[in-house]
Structures are given as structure tokens and as C-alpha cells.
């Protein structure tokens, strides 16, 4: 694979005032004579102390050392960072001890912050895996759904614009549906890769068929450009392989927890422990997908708490 480094055009940096803190709109980090030019920044969801209403996104610019926070109106459960970098999709979190939050999925949009319930999502009785399409017009969900007459299990497509749910893959029973513990969509939305009984299962959503294409993995993610897959080794949780999405050939190995693709598919984001961080503080690192070179996000040193990480458009911060 050739390097993209020589062809990268840098953009001027724009200051964006948000919450009293200056952030960089187009972040750059220079390592070994390369300039990484990304219109997105790494972030982690933090609920803060339990039941204190301090839930927020903590955003780390790729230059400078000042992180910033985007407050959120309510606690969240499992979080999916939207491919646009301007949305979050999440289940509701606990706001008080002993409560039972709604089973519906939420869509959170930024600048200004708006929270909406995704229609029909409350009809899922359980969801073992879910992913949002690149266009953010639909979601694929593995689980159990109440269709108004009966409970149906399998893999479903939930279309946002039409508020429609249809079964894309049937399963023999609900226990089988629960065996899909992770899922990721191809950029064109026609295929999905599920983690099914420690294997990569390729699901043809338009044909309602599936097949096992590789074994020994516990998490996977399709690159936004559709060329690559990351697949975390089931026997070595701190090792992830980059696979060719067409042949499933192993191209590269990335050490650390499962990484997150940058929206331009050029970098992988991971969080890991570094000296002298304490036991709960981690640091973001970037891996260049072409060269394998790694760079530390200086603003994040020992400040990443939690494992719900992703990329956000730097423009989500208030003007």
C-alpha cells in the first residue's frame, strides 16, 4: 500500500469558541515529517459521578493540550457515534437509582443540541447488536421485535425516514439472535458483518442470506470507505487485525483495544494506558492505516476515562 502523506493538503486552522474554550476546527498533528489534516476530533462519552447530571462528551483537539466538554441533557447507556460526526445514537441511561429507563433509542444532534426518540425503536424487546448506516438513514439491529402481533427474532433494518422495520435475516430462535454480539454496516448499506459465535458473519441484507467468512474474533468495524475491516482477535483482546474487506486477508496488526475508524478511513483511534497515568486514565493514539505509524494525541494524555470513544466533527461545538 502506498503512502498518502505526500498528497495531503493542509487547511488553515480556524478558532472556534465553545463553552469558553478555544478549539481547533481543522486539527493537525505533525509526526516524522507528515501532517495529519483532519476535520474531526476524538471524543469520549463520560457520565461523570453517578446521578449528578454531569454527563458530557469530552473532546480532545489534535493540537494543543486543552480538552473541552459538550454537556448532554441526560445520561446515556450504550453510545454509537454517528458517521457524520454530528450525531450520537444511544439508549437512555439511569437518571436516578432504581429507575427503569425507556427501551427506545435516542438520536442526539448538536449545535444546538436536540434529542429525539427514533420511531418504532421502543418495540425492540432486546437488542444484542446495532449499527447506523453511513448516510444515517437506517439502523441494523440484531434482537427481538414486537411487530404488533407477535415477537420476531433475527436481524432487522430500522428505516428512519419511513419509520419502517423489516426483518433482513431470520434466525432459528431468539437465543440464536442473541448470539450476534456486534454488527457493522458496509458504507452502501447492503451488507453487514456480525460477530456471531466468535466468527465474522457476512450478511447480505438485500438477499436475506449469511455465511461465516472468518473465525476467532469478538469485535469488527467496517471502514467508512468500504475497503477495510478491523477485527479484534478473540484470543488476544489487545490485538486487532486490519482485513481487506473483499478477500478478508489480513493486511496489518494494530496493538491495543479495538480501534475506531476516522471518518476519512485514514486513521485508527485507540485508547490505552501510558506511564505515568493512573489506573483509570487513558491516552488516545492514532495509527496511520497506510504506514502503521502511531501518534499520541497530546491533549488526551491520562484524561480518557471510559471506553465509549469515537470521532466528532469539530463544528459541533457551539459558536
Interval 244-298: pLDDT, tens: 999 999 999 998 889 999 999 999 999 988 878 888 889 999 999 988 899 999 9
State the Cα–Cα distance between residues 73 and 198, nearest whole angstrom: 36
Compute, in degrees rounded to 10, the torsion defined by CA atoms 58, 64, 65, 69: -20
pLDDT digits (tens, 9 = 90+) for 48-75: 988 899 999 999 998 877 899 999 999 9
The answer to whether domain 73-305 has CATH 2.130.10.10 is: yes
DSSP states along 58-110? EE--SSSS--EEEE-SS-EEEEEE-TTSSEEEEEE--SSTT----SSEEEEET
9 pLDDT tier (thresholds 50, 70, 90): very low
Predicted TM-score of the model (pTM): 0.85
Q: Where are the alpha helices (DSSP H) in 174-237?
A: 174-178
Q: Domain segments of the chain: what residues? A: 73-305
Rounded to the nearest 5 degrees, what angle is found at the Cα of 24, between the Cα atoms of 19 and 28? 155
**Average pLDDT taken over every residue of the chain:** 86
Contact 262, 312 (CB under 8 A): no
Amino acid at each position: 500500500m502506498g503512502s498518502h502523506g505526500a498528497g495531503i493538503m493542509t487547511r488553515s486552522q480556524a478558532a472556534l469558541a465553545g463553552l469558553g474554550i478555544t478549539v481547533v476546527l481543522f486539527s493537525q498533528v505533525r509526526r516524522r515529517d507528515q501532517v495529519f489534516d483532519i476535520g474531526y476530533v476524538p471524543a469520549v462519552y463520560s457520565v461523570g459521578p453517578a446521578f449528578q447530571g454531569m454527563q458530557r462528551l469530552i473532546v480532545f483537539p489534535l493540537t494543543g493540550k486543552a480538552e473541552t466538554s459538550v454537556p448532554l441533557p441526560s445520561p446515556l447507556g450504550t453510545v454509537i457515534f454517528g458517521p457524520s460526526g454530528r450525531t450520537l445514537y444511544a439508549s437512555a441511561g439511569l437518571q436516578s437509582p432504581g429507575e427503569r429507563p425507556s427501551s427506545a433509542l435516542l438520536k442526539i444532534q448538536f449545535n444546538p443540541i436536540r434529542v429525539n426518540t427514533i420511531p418504532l425503536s421502543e418495540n425492540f424487546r432486546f437488542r444484542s447488536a446495532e449499527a447506523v448506516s453511513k448516510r444515517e438513514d437506517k439502523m441494523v439491529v440484531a434482537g427481538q421485535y414486537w411487530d404488533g402481533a407477535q415477537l420476531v427474532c433475527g436481524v432487522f433494518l430500522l428505516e428512519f425516514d419511513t419509520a419502517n422495520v423489516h426483518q433482513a435475516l431470520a434466525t432459528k430462535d431468539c437465543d440464536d439472535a442473541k448470539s450476534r454480539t456486534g454488527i457493522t454496516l458496509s458504507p452502501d448499506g447492503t451488507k453487514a458483518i456480525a460477530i456471531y459465535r466468535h466468527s465474522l458473519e457476512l450478511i447480505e441484507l438485500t438477499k436475506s442470506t449469511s455465511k461465516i467468512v472468518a473465525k476467532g474474533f469478538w469485535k469488527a468495524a467496517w471502514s467508512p470507505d468500504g475497503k477495510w475491516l478491523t477485527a479484534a482477535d478473540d484470543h488476544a483482546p489487545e490485538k486487532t487485525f486490519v482485513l481487506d474487506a473483499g478477500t478478508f486477508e489480513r493486511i496489518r496488526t494494530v496493538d491495543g483495544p479495538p480501534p475506531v475508524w476516522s471518518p476519512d478511513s485514514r486513521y485508527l483511534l485507540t485508547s490505552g494506558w501510558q506511564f505515568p497515568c493512573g489506573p483509570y486514565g487513558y491516552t488516545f493514539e492514532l495509527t496511520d492505516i497506510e504506514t502503521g505509524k502511531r501518534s499520541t494525541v497530546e491533549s488526551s494524555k491520562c484524561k480518557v476515562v471510559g471506553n465509549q470513544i469515537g470521532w466528532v466533527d469539530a463544528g459541533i461545538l457551539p459558536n
